[in-house]
């Protein structure tokens, strides 16, 4: 159980997620057993609907990620990643300490051999109703050209298997349409992408193309600009809400309806939730994790990278 509103919001979100859970799937709640049982009782929910794995420690949001992960071996994060690694669970999601989630992702389940750097994936809504895959949105603020090229492949696999887009288009987020534009890393990445036979690269895409019908299915960027774009989009949702604007497009910018940001490039399916996740955000984070698990994303990426 992680996040600013744990355990209550986490348990409530998990209960809400049950109704849309594919038959045969089980939700495993990892956390303080007593709190979980008390909360379920107060909601009049039968505990046997879940598997419950008790833990005794908590990684706080302010804890140093790597140190906390190493020292608090009986935290839900450490136990969850251990279960993921040993195959006891097929996917793991938490709204807990993001840094500790990434430590677990990289050092417990490990990066897939051949993957340079894992990435965080965000779904970017299009006003035409579709969604695109943007990566990286926060792990690698300095992404080298070969890393950006590989993001194109990882994002294409995500688009194909999780979103069901047969032959996804890939755009490089840049400051102009021309190939001569951009930072040194982005210019070199353009060259690599243009020569790539593995992805369908369609060229550069600018800030004003995001959210538009011209947006590609996959948007490649470094983790710095991707993170700023994601948080700025979140801000626009907040502005629209605070100004009483009711509009389905702006609603899709609400992280609570998205759920979380999957980590790609590691040997298991992991979704990182927002620290401020409420009940709805947790429910959607779980749905998203189920989708990623059923798409068998980690294995699909492993096959693509090793082929």
Q: Would you tell me which residues interact with a second copy (CB under 8 A)?
A: 127, 138, 141-142, 173, 175, 181-184, 186, 206-212, 222-225, 227-236, 238-240, 242-243, 245, 247, 249
H helix or E strand, kind and range, residue 299: helix 297-306
Q: Are 269 and 298 in contact (CB under 8 A)?
A: yes
Least distance between a second copy and beta carbon 186 (Å): 7
Q: Least Å distance between CB 265 and a second copy?
A: 19
| Gyration radius of the chain over CA positions | 19
Between residues 70 and 232, which has the closer beta carbon with respect to a second copy? 232
**Comparison of 70 and 175: residue with beta carbon closer to a second copy:** 175
Residue closer to a second copy, measured from CB, 116 or 236? 236
Shortest distance (Å) from residue 187 CB to a second copy: 9
Q: What is the DSSP string of 212-274?
A: STT--SEEE--HHHHHHHHHHHHHHHHHHHHTT---HHHHTT-HHHH-EEEEESBSSEEEEEP
- Work out the angle at residue 299's Cα, subtended by the Cα atoms of residues 293 and 304, and round it to the nearest 5 degrees: 135
Q: Closest separation between CB of residue 255 and a second copy, Å? A: 10
Strand partners, 220: 135, 172
Looking at beta carbons only, is 34 or 243 nearer to a second copy?
243
CB 219 within 8 A of CB 134: yes
If the CB atoms of residues 31 and 182 are measured against a second copy, the closer one turns out to be 182
Interatomic CA distance for residues 121 and 139, integer angstroms: 10
Q: How far is the CB of 65 from a second copy (least distance, A)?
A: 11
Q: Which is nearer to a second copy, 2 or 125 (CB)?
A: 125
CB of residue 253 to a second copy, shortest distance in Å: 10
C-alpha span between 99 and 276 (Å, rounded): 15
């Amino acid at each position: 159980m992680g996040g600013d509103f744990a355990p209550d919001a986490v348990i409530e979100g998990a209960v809400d997620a049950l109704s849309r859970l594919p038959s045969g799937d089980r939700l495993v709640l990892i956390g303080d057993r007593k709190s979980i049982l008390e909360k379920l009782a107060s909601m009049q929910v039968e505990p046997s609907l879940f598997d419950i794995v008790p833990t005794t420690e908590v990684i706080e949001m302010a804890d140093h990620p790597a140190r906390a992960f190493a020292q608090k071996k009986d935290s839900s994060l450490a136990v969850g990643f251990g279960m993921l690694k040993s195959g006891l669970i097929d996917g793991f999601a938490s709204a807990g300490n993001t840094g500790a989630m990434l430590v677990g992702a990289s050092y417990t389940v490990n990066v897939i051999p051949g993957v340079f750097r894992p990435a965080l994936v965000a779904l970017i809504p299009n006003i035409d109703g579709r969604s695109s895959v943007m990566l990286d949105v926060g792990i690698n603020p300095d992404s080298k050209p070969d890393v950006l090229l590989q993001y194109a492949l990882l994002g294409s696999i995500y688009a194909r298997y999780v979103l069901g887009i047969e032959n996804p288009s890939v755009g490089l987020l840049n400051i102009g349409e021309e190939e001569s534009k951009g930072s040194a890393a982005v210019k070199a990445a353009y060259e690599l992408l243009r020569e790539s036979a593995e992805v369908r690269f369609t060229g550069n895409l600018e800030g004003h193309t995001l959210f538009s019908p011209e947006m590609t299915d996959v948007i490649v960027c470094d983790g710095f600009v991707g993170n700023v774009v994601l948080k700025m989009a979140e801000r626009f949702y907040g502005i629209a809400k605070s100004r009483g604007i009711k509009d389905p497009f702006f609603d899709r910018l609400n992280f609570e309806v998205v759920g979380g940001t999957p980590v790609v490039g590691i040997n298991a399916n992991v979704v990182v939730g927002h620290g401020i996740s409420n009940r709805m955000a947790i429910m959607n984070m779980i749905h998203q994790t189920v989708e990623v698990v059923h798409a068998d994303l980690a294995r699909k990426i492993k096959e693509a990278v090793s082929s």
